[in-house]
């Protein structure tokens, strides 16, 4: 009031103050209306069982989720955005039209002790790939899960990246699987059910096709599948790991290379894990999921590098 009632020689001060107030008010309004930018995919912000696997660290794989049926762990999945999870279609066999049976638990390192910072959200609907036939070991065993509401990102809840067109997975590329599935055939992961991890090498597709050859021209391994694991057995995904991620780290970001789909037994000799390749279904996912993030190799960085943490694990349902 004093400034605005000042002599004419000082009247400009009033105008300057009002102009500044208007600029500050406009900036505050724009700031409030700004849509939050999602966090970068594939980059854990860690806090300072798969068969033959080991315990993961808390927040090591913040995109791995537990898909629960009637409140019990059923399959795993991976978070793509604040509203979408990706998993295996067979997890919803005979229950596709019953989304109310399912919920998604995010940010839980130990299922037996999920903690106050975990989040549980219902399932709005499930979108399996249109060519999936609901038969065991079928191609296109991939589904997108729409959450009932957006989740809150945190250091425990972050999205994973999808591989862009620059990514190729040559044999012996070392990637990782993770999950809460059985640690042996018929042996569930013991309390507190700590998320397991396992490092697995990619297996040459021709070698895998021969291992799973069914004769009479019937190959079990289709063009959208890839195999990873150990021909000697002993380490593998197992029951309850289905839908979880096969993850490869490229130029500092974790990419979802595949989805745990099927295998004969768990960790049996010459029966490696079979995964649905995201390289085959990236464009389908992009058409449905708005805001999914893609990453690939930086130009000139050469072959895919799987820079990994210490070792890991996953499962099948």
Q: Which residues are catalytic?
A: 90, 141, 242
The CA-atom distances, in angstroms, between 48 and each of 108, 111, 117 are 17, 21, 16
166-200 as b/e, with b when 16 or more CB fall inside 10 Å?
A: ebebeeebbbbbbbbbbbeeeebbeeebbbbbbbb
Sign of CA dihedral 119, 125, 128, 133: positive
H helix intervals, the chain:
12-33, 205-211, 278-288
Q: SS3 of 246, please?
A: strand
Q: How far apart are CA 149 and CA 113, in angstroms?
A: 23
Instruction: HSE, CB side, 13 Å, CA atoms: give it for residue 293.
Output: 21
Q: How far apart are CA 48 and CA 29, in angstroms?
A: 36
Select from 259, 234, 243, 109 the least CA-distant residue to 184: 234
**Cβ atoms within 10 Å, residue 65:** 30
Q: What percent of the chain is helix, strand and coil (3-state, nearest 5)?
A: 15, 30, 55
Q: How far apart are CA 298 and CA 63, in angstroms?
A: 23
**Cβ atoms within 10 Å, residue 74:** 22
Q: How far apart are CA 84 and CA 287, in angstroms?
A: 13
């Amino acid at each position: 009031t004093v400034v605005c009632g000042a002599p004419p020689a000082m009247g400009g001060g009033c105008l300057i103050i009002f102009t500044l107030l208007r600029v500050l008010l406009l900036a505050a309004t724009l700031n409030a209306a700004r849509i939050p930018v999602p966090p970068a995919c594939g980059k854990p912000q860690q806090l300072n069982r798969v068969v033959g696997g080991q315990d993961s660290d808390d927040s090591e794989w913040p995109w791995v989720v537990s898909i629960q049926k009637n409140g019990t762990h059923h399959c795993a999945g991976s978070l793509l955005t604040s509203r979408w999870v990706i998993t295996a279609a067979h997890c919803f066999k005979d229950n596709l039209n019953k989304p109310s049976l399912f919920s998604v638990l995010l940010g839980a390192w130990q299922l037996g002790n999920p903690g106050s910072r975990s989040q549980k959200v219902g399932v709005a609907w499930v979108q399996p790939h249109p060519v999936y036939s609901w038969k065991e070991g079928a191609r296109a065993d991939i589904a997108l899960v729409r959450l009932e509401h957006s989740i809150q990102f945190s250091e425990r809840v972050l999205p994973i990246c999808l591989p862009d067109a620059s990514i190729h997975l040559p044999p012996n590329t070392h990637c990782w699987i993770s999950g809460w599935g059985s640690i042996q055939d018929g042996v569930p992961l013991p309390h507190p059910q700590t998320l397991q991890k396992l490092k697995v090498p990619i297996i040459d597709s021709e070698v895998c096709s021969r291992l799973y050859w069914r004769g009479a021209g019937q190959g079990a391994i289709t063009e959208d599948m890839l195999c990873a694991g150990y021909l000697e057995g002993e380490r593998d995904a197992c029951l309850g790991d289905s839908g979880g991620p096969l993850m490869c780290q490229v130029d500092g970001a974790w990419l979802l290379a595949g989805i745990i789909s099927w295998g004969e037994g768990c960790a049996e000799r010459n029966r490696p894990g079979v995964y649905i390749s995201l390289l085959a279904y990236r464009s389908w996912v992009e058409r449905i999921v708005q805001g999914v993030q893609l990453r690939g190799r930086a130009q000139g960085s050469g072959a895919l590098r799987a820079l990994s943490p210490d070792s890991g694990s996953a499962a099948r349902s």
